[in-house]
Structure 1
């Protein structure tokens, strides 16, 4: 039965991600775009940038110039008329800075007759970046934020104040040209000013909020950076039309549909999961324990984005940590249970895995190898532990990015 659950998990992951690829959504959004007599410039940034740009060019037939800025390994080929660049994520690098400078150059000479098609997806905060401070300092601040346990909105509140393009500043750089923005959401609640740090949307956060985040997480910042936190971001932008498409809600619905297709009675617990990854894993294990003896095939779904507070130097990501943390809670049950969590973009933390899978055999398998789950989680080394149990979920880059989904599967034990 455990083998059956593993195959069911693979089916659910594959088909759920396929259902939220951005191609049709981008084409639908661009059906509202009316060509003018001016130039059309396409700028695409984020982990789904290549996929979104390819779909857009297919609809538009022609762009005067354009650029894709995406994560390493995410470019799938040439796109006619588009320059494609790969750069650093989750920490920006020189390629991020150089590609963003190139994008700014493409929009620097536009008139009110021209239009910028701006395609934005999650990961854009690192990939679409030209900092107001030295690059190595920004990289250090990014690493501090990512290891602090801060949520994505808090992280982006800081990052948008240190950038030439974030917090609405890219829209101002495009003026007087019109910006037609299509956004693939990767943040709970779809806050447009926070997705990829809102390059073309007015910033709703304040300087006081940014300074409070610095205090809360004990960030070490230079005097120059602290002064930038005192500079307010744009609060009004008039040259942008925005269309938001894709969300974790759609991902959860797709996962639920696939679970039902496999015969599971299915319940979506939430599409706003936001807590520490380890706590989410333990919570889902408790859901499994409560429902383990019903004699029914059940599935429970939770979508959103958890966080990891780094306390060790191991390898992993939030989805892997969630799955491993659930293993102890389901390890002593007689029922057949699997819990898995996956990032829709195909990458989880600085690893080649999209997420992690655990079942009722995982804890014993690790114990037999002398691996203690508590020690692994303290060292944030879920990747290497799950590798020992074939619990890594590997999809490769998917072409989309709409948060994460975690699933509890409870199977019916077969009668011998």
Structure 2
């Protein structure tokens, strides 16, 4: 392993994530928050929910009640006046259903003078859920969507129609109270109806689009689920004000700034990356091979969210697959490719992402591993763990997509 490149990678990851932590972003958004004089209730959902709620209560001084629903191991302490719950992600579970029920109970009897501060971040689609069909069936549908290679918009187009809270239904349940929604975006282009399946935003997707996703991926849905897909979601919500705070653009800008501070010339390739993870990794390695021999340090940055089409039964995530897929193309170069999820987790693992450099392919071979065979089994986690290729940050408290960086030394 090239220790210089690995050290630089670690610094870039740390600086990038630090720049998109929600504390200051939430405080900025709350400058426009004007409660009506009745009760102020807080509901926060998503991977960054605890951090956002903590920052909001600190800024406001107090709330009259609240519920936080976040991922396991993401609660960092008590928040005055707020009940905090942990639940399953990316597949919703009974704890999430129960916690969402607590949130619905909290807002069940509001007046026109009350205000709901709704803090939303990525992962909320799984964590903030009250299904309109049996929980086990929703879990099966979620697994089908994750395994088939559907992107996040396609997944959420389906999920919002199977839920009591998604697709604008949570804000509808809050009426006549006003909802002030603060959103930490984890979807390219910041489509408010799709972030966490849009619990507090009018649904712009259609029943026809949902049915088309089922047909496209040949999904196995029950008659009840198909009937729910044909029901329209709220198209207009008069009681919601929304503020977007934080996105993948800021993540990429922070990565570029740290690359520049380390002496690299940064090039932003895209903040709209949305292809197969292994294709993205191969592409980044190809770019580095094209520029080998340049007499300056280069850094190529790509932000977004790739997808994984499961072909095996291994362990890993999209960022680990991206890094591992770059390894063959990096062989022999003074170069590295690494990719991380800003939330600090990558799929069902404890890693935030993966790292590979010009020595990784040889190191894998010495362990009897072939990168292409490992990718076919979707087992990047175990392979990278054997060559010090995992990037581990722990839960970060934010979630604004992923960033991949390709570094090249002269």
Is 1:300 the counterpart of 2:305? The answer is no
Match of 1:378 among 376, 379, 389: 376
CA deviation vs aligned residue, 1:349-404 (integer Å, no higher than 9, x gap):
00000000000000000011110111100000000000011000000000000000
Equivalence for 1:240: 240
Equivalence for 1:367: 365
CA deviation vs aligned residue, 1:289-348 (integer Å, no higher than 9, x gap):
0111112110000000000000100000000000000000111x3x31010000000000
Equivalence for 1:390: 388
Equivalence for 2:347: 349
CA deviation vs aligned residue, 1:18-76 (integer Å, no higher than 9, x gap):
00001101011111112332000000000000000000001111110001100000001
CA positional deviation for 1:272: 0.2
CA deviation vs aligned residue, 1:230-257 (integer Å, no higher than 9, x gap):
1011100100000001000000000000
1:330 and 1:12 map into 2 onto residues whose CA distance is 19
Equivalence for 1:184: 184
SS in 2 for 1:119: strand
Equivalence for 2:214: 214
What count of residue pairs does the alignment treat as equivalent? 410
What is the TM-score normalised by the length of structure 1? 0.98
1:296 and 1:164 map into 2 onto residues whose CA distance is 55
Equivalence for 1:60: 60
2:37 and 2:284 map into 1 onto residues whose CA distance is 55
Equivalence for 1:114: 114
Equivalence for 1:324: 324
CA deviation vs aligned residue, 1:88-136 (integer Å, no higher than 9, x gap):
0000000000000000000001000000000000000000000000000
What is the TM-score normalised by the length of structure 2? 0.99
Is 1:5 the counterpart of 2:5? The answer is yes
- What is the RMSD computed on CA atoms of the aligned residues? 0.7
SS in 2 for 1:31: helix
Determine if contact 2:35/2:114 at 8 Å carries over to the other structure. Answer: no
Equivalence for 1:15: 15
1:406 and 1:62 map into 2 onto residues whose CA distance is 39
2:117 and 2:35 map into 1 onto residues whose CA distance is 11
Q: 5 Å matches for 1:39-118?
A: 39-118=39-118
- Shift of the 288–31 alpha-carbon distance from structure 1 to 2, 3 Å rule, reads same
1:37 and 1:402 map into 2 onto residues whose CA distance is 33
Equivalence for 2:37: 37
2:34 and 2:227 map into 1 onto residues whose CA distance is 42
Structure 2, unaligned runs of 5 or more: none
2:37 and 2:172 map into 1 onto residues whose CA distance is 21
1:66 and 1:397 map into 2 onto residues whose CA distance is 22
SS in 2 for 1:84: strand
SS in 1 for 2:378: coil
2:36 and 2:223 map into 1 onto residues whose CA distance is 46
SS in 1 for 2:32: coil
Equivalence for 2:405: 407
CA positional deviation for 1:2: 1.6
2:118 and 2:266 map into 1 onto residues whose CA distance is 37
Equivalence for 1:256: 256
2:215 and 2:351 map into 1 onto residues whose CA distance is 33
Query: Which 4+ runs in 1 deviate beyond 4 A?
Result: none
1:229 and 1:299 map into 2 onto residues whose CA distance is 44
SS in 2 for 1:122: coil
